[in-house]
Amino acid sequence: MGHIDPTKDVFAQFRDNNRPGPIHMLNLVRLREWAAYPDGRKATGAEAYAAYGRESGPVFERLGGRIVWQGRFELMLIGPQEERWDHCFIAEYPSVAAFVEMIRDPVYREAVKHRQAAVDDSRLIRHAVLPVGKNFGEIPK
């Protein structure tokens, strides 16, 4: 079974670390071939995920969210060879509070049903935004 939604405990940790400043969320998403809607409606995973994007996008933008990087998965060079990701992107939010507000928004909560139907597995990894270092081993403070 894939990872679709955060657990309550992890979301509480996310919310409690409400440091000032923007956050970057690395999204890795694998879609189902066919969406799994509880009401049985027919759609591909790609169609359901596109509906999620269309319906949640205005809330994301209104709260100051933006996509700062997007890529097309090509090859797992290091890691499980069977892993593949259909959507790979980094979303930026102006604050933890903005992300939390998005999750609680009634329009978003309705839209997320499409994501839940579409997604087979995913990773959502929070990052602090740092200046770019000069090389791989340098992690700026």
Structural domains in the chain plus CATH codes = 20-75+82-126 (3.30.70.100)
pLDDT band at 1 (very low <50, low <70, confident <90, very high): low
Residue type, 57: G
Residue 74: partners with Cβ closer than 8 Å, 6 or more residues away: none
Whole-angstrom Cα distance, residue 76 to residue 55? 31
Cα 66 from Cα 74, distance rounded (Å)? 24
Give the model confidence (pLDDT) of 77-127 as tens digits: 999 999 999 999 999 999 999 999 999 999 999 999 999 999 999 999 999
Q: Which of 1, 7, 13 is nearest to 126 (CA)?
A: 13
Model's pTM, two decimal places? 0.90
